[in-house]
Amino acid sequence: TKPETINYRTLKPEMDGLFCERIFGPAKDWECHCGKYKRVRHRGIVCERCGVEVTESRVRRHRMGFIKLAAPVAHVWYLKGIPSILLFSWICRCEMWSRLFISILTVCYDRVMRIL
């Protein structure tokens, strides 16, 4: 991935950037990044050139990216949300899981700092 977000000339999201259309979906309805597919009749097709799925642009509002970390970490939304998905599925006390995740984060942080 690249740190770029939007191409300042074309105002399109940069491929492999933070707003990549391959991950989040097309910027324009029913159009891939390279422009090979431009109509509703190509719905659901993934472009061979750019790898963007031809669909509505509003899917960008729901799709989330993924960053691979050195160690597994639970997102705060799943830990502190109401109802908490992780805690509800595991049927345990919130305090216990909070302490566990904080200790895991501390250990992971210490390991990363030793490497750096």
* String of DSSP letters for 2-55: -S--B-TTT-PBPTTSTT-HHHH--SSTT--SSSS--SGGGTTPBPTTT--B-S
Question: Does residue 103 sit within a domain?
Answer: yes
Q: Is 62 helix (H, G, I), strand (E, B) or coil?
A: coil
pLDDT of residue 65: 78
The verdict on 85 and 47 lying in the same domain is no
From its phi and psi, is residue 44 left (phi > 0), alpha (psi between -120 and 50) or beta? left
Q: Please say whether the beta carbons of 13 and 21 come within 8 A.
A: yes
pLDDT of residue 58: 96
The verdict on 14 and 47 lying in the same domain is yes
pTM of the model: 0.58
Q: Read off the pLDDT of residues 13-58 as tens digits, 9 standing for 90 and up.
A: 999 898 999 999 999 999 999 999 999 999 999 999 999 999 999 9
Question: Does residue 71 sit within a domain?
Answer: no
The verdict on 80 and 56 lying in the same domain is no
Question: Does residue 90 sit within a domain?
Answer: yes
Domain count, the chain: 2
The verdict on 21 and 49 lying in the same domain is yes
Domain around 87: 76-115
